[in-house]
A and B are shown apart, each in its own frame.
Chain A
Amino acid sequence: MRILIMANNVQELGGAQRVVHLLAQGLGSRGHDVVIIGVVPHEARHSYESGPTYRTVTLLDDPYPKDASERLAHEGVATVRLQRLLDDGPPGIVITAQLWAMEHLARCRLDGWPVIGQYHSSFEAARAGRDLTRAKAVYRDVDAFALLCDEDASSFRAEGFNNVVTMPNPLAYWPVEASDSNDPVVTYLGRFSAEKGPRFLLEAWRLLAPDHPQWRLDMVGSGPLEQELRGGLGAGLPRVTFRPSTTDPMGVLMGTGILALPSLTEGFPLALAEAMACGVACVASDCSSGVRALVDDGRTGLIARRGDAAHLAEQLARLMESPDLRKRLGLAARESVEGLQSATVIDRWEALFVDVLR
């Protein structure tokens, strides 16, 4: 079947893009004719390995200009090119991974093409900005509107979306065995930016470090706050290592004792899901419906109050002091995210296609 997956762009190294490529990979390898369509090129031009299983297309040759009248011309070109792709064969299914991409699709004739819309942030985030209003304009009438977790789905339903389904993001990998690492390492894996909350973790570390001399803190990542963290807050703390972001998160995770996710805002954090897949015990801040969907506090991980360093330290200490608790939470976590294995999620997508086509 022809499957078109649309995103704002297909080259950025972002969460939505990673998922789009994973999905295309999965569906392509099952024999579907998959094309990923980006609306605009992205300067980063991260090359995902597209391989033989799917193609990528970018509608426009350059990004949208600032000038309103020129934007109109760009919009026209994008619409015509997209329409050509749609008309280029029998109808299949269109998946729009992002709102802006959907707004482009909405300008086309869709004879016979069912549409599945996706939204990768939480309902809270949508309501805080303009996304909720935009989503109401384009996503209420599509065949299915896929959210990342049940909580978001029911929040959107309460806003009059009668087509919501839950579709989690797939994991990029699934380690054959759970990590049996007992290394006394707390790991931070993510961008060094304010909304990811690395400060709170360092703050918590300041409280923890004196009482746990054998433990180390591994800060893996890069980002705008890096210099500030290394030089300021992080410099005075014992046993903190800064490492550049990695292309092998699994390798990092398999050698860690605890993963800390101190974020202030999140959607459906992949790093957390991946750590859980590795059987690593996690402490995550209560910052989104996605986190709440992943971590069942006390069973598959621990939840710390958002932006509360003292509570984060308290929860970390509980794990640091009990190898048994780490083991128990880690194994339960791995079991709980089994459903996020790529094959399982692709199965769910195919089941959704069946529902949509009925």
Chain B
Amino acid sequence: MSGVSGFPDVSIVLITFNDAARLPRALASLSSQTLRNLEIIVVDDASSDGTAGVVQSAMSSDPRIRYVRLDVNSGGCSGPRNRGIREASGTWVMFCDSDDEYERHAAKNLLLAVEGSDADLGCGVVERVEVKSGATKRWRADLHEPGVLESIDERPDLIADTVSVNKIYRREWLNGRGIEFPEGVLYEDQLFTLKAFVEARRICVIPETVYRWYVDRLGSDLSITQRRHEVRNVRGRIEVNRLIDEYLAARGLTELARTKTRKFLSHDLYLYLSTLLELDDADAMAVAAELAPYVAALDLAEAQCQRPALRVATYHLLVGDLDGVRRAMRFIRWSSVVDAPLVIADGSGVLWGCAHLAAGPSFQGLGPEWWLDVSALGLDRATISQRRWCHRLTSLAAAGGTWSVEGNTVDAFGDLGRATSVEFVLMLATRVMASMPLTMSGSDRGSHGDLSAETCEWRWRGNGGWSAVPDAGLRPGDRGFLAIRIVIDGVANVMPVRIHDWAAPSCVLSGPSAAIDLQTYPGEHGVLRWRAGRYSRTARMLGRLSRWQSGLAAPISRVCRAVARRVGERLPTAPLVVFIGGGGQPGEFSGQAHAVSAALLRRRPDVGQAWEAVRADAGETSASVRRSWRLARARWWVLDTALPVTMRRPAHARSLATAEAVPVVRTGSEDPDWDITPPARRRGGSSLPRRWDSAGAMNPEAARRQLDLPSSRVNVLYAPLGDECLIDLPAFVERLGDRVHLLIASGSGGAVDIPSVLRSSVRDVSASAAREIAYAASEVLVTDFSPVMTDFASAGRPVVVFSPDFDRFVTRTRGTVVDLIEAGPGPVTRSMAELDAELTALLGRGLRVAEPYLGRSRRFAERVTPIASADAFVDEMLGGA
């Protein structure tokens, strides 16, 4: 009853060239397919490494493998694949590359699908795997709505699925129709799959993942030298597109040709034009020269499907203005950073300002005002704080303690000229922009040029390096970026300083002590980033000394620290308060902690203050005797983060918590089973510290004004515990964007990437200063397990728990302190649809919290006693001493 009839059902053609390292993975994925009746044909394109040996050893354990070696290297994929088709004996053929692998059930799923529907061609989903991070993404899964198509005309968009490896082909049909890979052409997949789609009598699309495509992003993004092939690549792509056009024209398939043109203009062209940002001028000109004639010959009315900025770039390509293309592409690549003046035309929206606007040429009857219309982006709706200025660095120098920074900003919206007061501040921002008030000394006296000009020049000079808030200092390895804060009539905007040229300036800014300097380097999106370390010669020497010391003295130091702790804990406490903050980022403290610090300084200047940053994973970041002593003797601990399991609070220290410090997830300290403290040292009970109630601390109206939020929509805060935004933003905005303005505050303060078209409805408030204001300003909270939940519950505001991963997290990963399903402050949703339904219902009820959540919210918040202000916090603290 087994289906083996002498011939294999499927022949898999695995092509390889000098890839002995990754070949075993690919082979193993084919050998372990749940489809047994298959043959594996390894076509070796004349490798000179150990490929033959790898295949031989695989053949000894799997007799279904055959080895075909080409005598001469073919230089491409087409030759080996065509040879594989000729060698194949199966009813069906599939293809695989040696650096990728098949999903375990791929061959069987595709085979059963095409047999069941009597199709010539079947295709499944490709999963992209980032080699470095292991992150996976289903590639263009939107195209793979399952179904059986009588012909490609039923779903022309499917031609965008241009890879050959996620498909199964009827072998006789391939041969009968003469469909083969074009030799001597790069991107042979594109022509091959298109022909297959066109010729297929029936096409079967399955929803399962069939292929894992390993992508080494570093390899493709890295350096200019690796981009040298770009001209050749673009030429290759255009060549294959010409072949496809000829083929479609010869077959009279006009509708499909139109779809293909749209795909080229919106997808392919984006890729090619992006590369112009990284190529030097000569190469870029060469690429543009290849592209322009091809694009000009297309039906340009189809450019309507392009996103506005890409259409602007296309126009500049046609005009032959390389700089203009780059500006528009930078706008897309750098998330809507506007590097050109915008013209707000009466009644007809927003136009991209450039030299061609007034008298540029028309193409196929389409004039500049059609090409340059960017109204759809809604840039004019952005408020001052949402503006995406491009601060362009033109010169950066530092030597012998003096430094200078120069650059300019295109005043795209004319805001600077209109304003009555404008202030420029140069900042060394950390990932959490405003929380680390580092400034360049002397920088607050920067100068800027004519504000009414289209481009505003600015310049800062100083001597002395950077300075920082004491004790919240940088450590070697910390990173950040250079930013400019513009305050226009009281409303602030912080945007990074960017470099437009790939060869970026790199220099060392010295710090206040010899300990740490900043090394600048170019980062993603053209942002000028810095890394803290020991770079100057004296600092390097001191660093080496201290490393040597710590290496040698580690055991001694450990003993000293233990002694310091033991002794310190036995002595009477010192009038000292330790602020313990972190959440992963050293030096990150909430505004509440700073406010308490200020109030304390005002009331009790005699009380010493120390700042202790912990990393949630490591517990202790620095191990000094001084630190152990300080922690042991402090009379008060102010927790600005959940205390890591590895840190132990001495019994006599009184602790209070800010809003950030009352966890919803288990940290281990609340559960005797998880507690690693020896039983003898445990303190009775694990009552929660009192905490500052932040949502109630600020007037919501004032908060909304301060954040410059729309008043016509409901402000919903999304505060995930981690860094990842799990809400499908485009879908969310599509459904609720007209009624809801979404604020996103990621748990660790990391910025969340928001697609530019959504910016008028979604706002990132992860930076901690903005975050706390956002807590007050938002009317509804959506979160998985953020401690903010407690604030919203205590303020009686609606909470919706949203976590697609809820069950695994609760049962497997960490678990929560309170059973959120039974006693949480709001409904638990696990999918976008459920979240959508809950929010819609909530909006329908006028944001009223429904039973049973009203009572539950109260009980949830009552776990901890709230404190209302910084002064009350200090009272509480001192009073209990």
Partner of A141, one of B2, B104, B112, B210: B104
Q: In the complex, are the beta carbons of B208 and A157 less than 8 A apart?
A: yes
Q: In the complex, are the beta carbons of B830 and A127 less than 8 A apart?
A: yes
Chain B, Cβ-Cβ closest to A136: B808
B contact residues, total (Cβ < 8 Å):
26
Task: Tell me, yes or no, whether B591 is within 8 Å of chain A by CB.
Answer: no
Q: In the complex, are the beta carbons of A132 and B112 less than 8 A apart?
A: no
Task: Tell me, yes or no, whether A355 is within 8 Å of chain B by CB.
Answer: yes
Q: In the complex, are the beta carbons of B9 and A358 less than 8 A apart?
A: yes
A354 to B5, CA, bound (A): 13
Chain A, Cβ-Cβ closest to B10: A358
Task: Tell me, yes or no, whether B235 is within 8 Å of chain A by CB.
Answer: no
A114 to B4, CA, bound (A): 15
Task: Tell me, yes or no, whether B302 is within 8 Å of chain A by CB.
Answer: no
Task: Tell me, yes or no, whether A194 is within 8 Å of chain B by CB.
Answer: no
Q: Which residues of A contact B4 (CB under 8 A)?
A: 358
Given contacts A129-B811, A160-B209, A358-B2, 5 further A-B contacts (CB under 8 A): A132-B808, A157-B208, A357-B1, A358-B36, A358-B37
Q: In the complex, are the beta carbons of A1 and B1 less than 8 A apart?
A: yes
> Given A133-B808, A358-B3, are A162 and B36 neighbors across the interface (CB < 8 Å)?
no
Q: In the complex, are the beta carbons of A133 and B2 less than 8 A apart?
A: no
Q: In the complex, are the beta carbons of A127 and B807 less than 8 A apart?
A: yes
Q: In the complex, are the beta carbons of A354 and B3 less than 8 A apart?
A: yes
**In the complex, per-residue mask of A189-230: 1 if CB is within 8 Å of any chain B CB, else 0:** 000000000000000000000000000000000000000000
Task: Tell me, yes or no, whether B335 is within 8 Å of chain A by CB.
Answer: no
A143 to B112, CA, bound (A): 13
Task: Tell me, yes or no, whether A176 is within 8 Å of chain B by CB.
Answer: no
Task: Tell me, yes or no, whether B34 is within 8 Å of chain A by CB.
Answer: yes
Q: In the complex, are the beta carbons of A162 and B104 less than 8 A apart?
A: yes
Task: Tell me, yes or no, whether A336 is within 8 Å of chain B by CB.
Answer: no
Q: In the complex, are the beta carbons of B830 and A162 less than 8 A apart?
A: no
Task: Tell me, yes or no, whether B462 is within 8 Å of chain A by CB.
Answer: no
A127 to B104, CA, bound (A): 24
Q: Which residues of B contact A132 (CB under 8 A)?
A: 807-808
Q: Which residues of B contact A68 (CB under 8 A)?
A: none
Q: In the complex, are the beta carbons of B108 and A355 less than 8 A apart?
A: yes
Task: Tell me, yes or no, whether A66 is within 8 Å of chain B by CB.
Answer: no
Chain B, Cβ-Cβ closest to A353: B1
A127 to B829, CA, bound (A): 12
Task: Tell me, yes or no, whether B207 is within 8 Å of chain A by CB.
Answer: yes
Report 22 cross-chain contacts, Cβ distance below 8 Å, ordered by A residue: A1-B1, A127-B807, A127-B830, A128-B807, A129-B807, A130-B807, A130-B811, A133-B811, A133-B812, A141-B104, A143-B34, A162-B104, A162-B106, A162-B109, A162-B208, A163-B109, A354-B1, A354-B2, A357-B36, A358-B36, A358-B37, A358-B108
Task: Tell me, yes or no, whether B103 is within 8 Å of chain A by CB.
Answer: yes
Task: Tell me, yes or no, whether B35 is within 8 Å of chain A by CB.
Answer: yes
Partner of A357, one of B3, B208, B811, B812: B3
- How far in angstroms is the closest Cβ of chain B from A348? 14
**In the complex, per-residue mask of B290-327: 1 if CB is within 8 Å of any chain A CB, else 0:** 00000000000000000000000000000000000000
Q: Which residues of A contact B808 (CB under 8 A)?
A: 132-133
Task: Tell me, yes or no, whether B105 is within 8 Å of chain A by CB.
Answer: yes
Chain A, Cβ-Cβ closest to B2: A357
Q: Which 4 pairs from chain A and chain B are nearest by CB?
A: A358-B3, A357-B2, A162-B208, A162-B105
Q: In the complex, are the beta carbons of A157 and B207 less than 8 A apart?
A: yes
> Given A128-B807, A355-B112, A358-B36, are A162 and B103 neighbors across the interface (CB < 8 Å)?
yes
- How far in angstroms is the closest Cβ of chain A from B179? 26
- How far in angstroms is the closest Cβ of chain B from A310? 20
Near B by CB (< 8 A), chain A positions 104-130 give 114, 127-130
A163 to B811, CA, bound (A): 25
Q: In the complex, are the beta carbons of B830 and A358 less than 8 A apart?
A: no
Chain A, Cβ-Cβ closest to B37: A358
**In the complex, per-residue mask of A343-356: 1 if CB is within 8 Å of any chain B CB, else 0:** 00000001001111
Q: Which residues of A contact B111 (CB under 8 A)?
A: 358
A234 to B588, CA, bound (A): 64
Chain A, Cβ-Cβ closest to B3: A358
Near A by CB (< 8 A), chain B positions 815-830 give 830
A149 to B812, CA, bound (A): 28
Q: In the complex, are the beta carbons of B112 and A162 less than 8 A apart?
A: no
Q: Which residues of B contact A356 (CB under 8 A)?
A: 34
Near A by CB (< 8 A), chain B positions 785-819 give 807-808, 811-812
**In the complex, per-residue mask of B100-119: 1 if CB is within 8 Å of any chain A CB, else 0:** 00011110110110000000
- How far in angstroms is the closest Cβ of chain A from B1? 6
A114 to B830, CA, bound (A): 34
Q: Which residues of B contact A114 (CB under 8 A)?
A: 34
Q: Which residues of B contact A162 (CB under 8 A)?
A: 103-106, 109, 208-210
A130 to B209, CA, bound (A): 25
- How far in angstroms is the closest Cβ of chain A from B822? 13
Q: Which residues of A contact B104 (CB under 8 A)?
A: 140-141, 162-163
**In the complex, per-residue mask of B682-707: 1 if CB is within 8 Å of any chain A CB, else 0:** 00000000000000000000000000
Q: Which residues of B contact A353 (CB under 8 A)?
A: 1
Residue with the highest number of chain B CB atoms closer than 10 Å, among A140, A143, A162, A354: A162
- How far in angstroms is the closest Cβ of chain A from B128? 15
Q: Which residues of A contact B210 (CB under 8 A)?
A: 162
**In the complex, per-residue mask of B1-36: 1 if CB is within 8 Å of any chain A CB, else 0:** 111100001000000000000000000000000111
**In the complex, per-residue mask of A154-198: 1 if CB is within 8 Å of any chain B CB, else 0:** 000100101100000000000000000000000000000000000
A128 to B4, CA, bound (A): 42
- How far in angstroms is the closest Cβ of chain A from B168? 14
**In the complex, per-residue mask of B702-744: 1 if CB is within 8 Å of any chain A CB, else 0:** 0000000000000000000000000000000000000000000
- How far in angstroms is the closest Cβ of chain A from B754? 26
- How far in angstroms is the closest Cβ of chain A from B686? 27
**In the complex, per-residue mask of A258-282: 1 if CB is within 8 Å of any chain B CB, else 0:** 0000000000000000000000000
A16 to B210, CA, bound (A): 32
A356 to B74, CA, bound (A): 38
A130 to B108, CA, bound (A): 29
Q: Which residues of A contact B812 (CB under 8 A)?
A: 130, 133
Chain A, Cβ-Cβ closest to B136: A160
**In the complex, per-residue mask of B181-214: 1 if CB is within 8 Å of any chain A CB, else 0:** 0000000000000000000000000011110000
A77 to B208, CA, bound (A): 38
- How far in angstroms is the closest Cβ of chain B from A109? 15
> Given A1-B1, A143-B34, are A133 and B109 neighbors across the interface (CB < 8 Å)?
no
Q: Which residues of A contact B103 (CB under 8 A)?
A: 162
- How far in angstroms is the closest Cβ of chain A from B33? 10
A300 to B432, CA, bound (A): 60
Q: Which residues of B contact A143 (CB under 8 A)?
A: 34
Q: Which residues of B contact A355 (CB under 8 A)?
A: 108, 112
Q: In the complex, are the beta carbons of A163 and B105 less than 8 A apart?
A: yes
A354 to B112, CA, bound (A): 11
